[in-house]
Amino acid sequence: MVLNWNDFNKWRETSLEYHKMLGEHNYTNALTFFEYVRQYFNAKGFPPAEKKTKTGRKGKYTQKDNKEQLKQIHEYIGGIK
């Protein structure tokens, strides 16, 4: 789950290193993707650091929350293009 710019930068750097090993085309596509993701977070902001539960207590984000965030990012990018 990306909760702030530090998380974003770690995710970006790790992903770019991986895509650089796969080839120049993959690396270029990853750079473009992360520019769109940066636009997403500038427009939508980051989720709170701790997830609120139904009972009002604070909880942790799950893998399902992470997948939902990625889905929202992809939908946002699809709307831009």
pTM given for the model:
0.82
| 41 token code pair | 């977070």
> The tokens 């992470």 sit on which residue?
66
pLDDT of residue 81 exceeding 60, the answer is no
> Phi/psi of residue 61, each to 5°?
-75, 150
Confidence band for 19, pLDDT divided at 50, 70 and 90 = very high
* Domain of residue 37, residue span: 5-80
pLDDT digits (tens, 9 = 90+) for 22-59: 999 999 999 999 999 999 999 999 999 888 777 777 88
pLDDT of residue 69 exceeding 60, the answer is yes
Contacts of 46 (CB under 8 A, 6+ apart): 2, 3, 4
Total domains present in the chain = 1
More confident site: 79 or 80: 79
| 39 token code pair | 């636009």
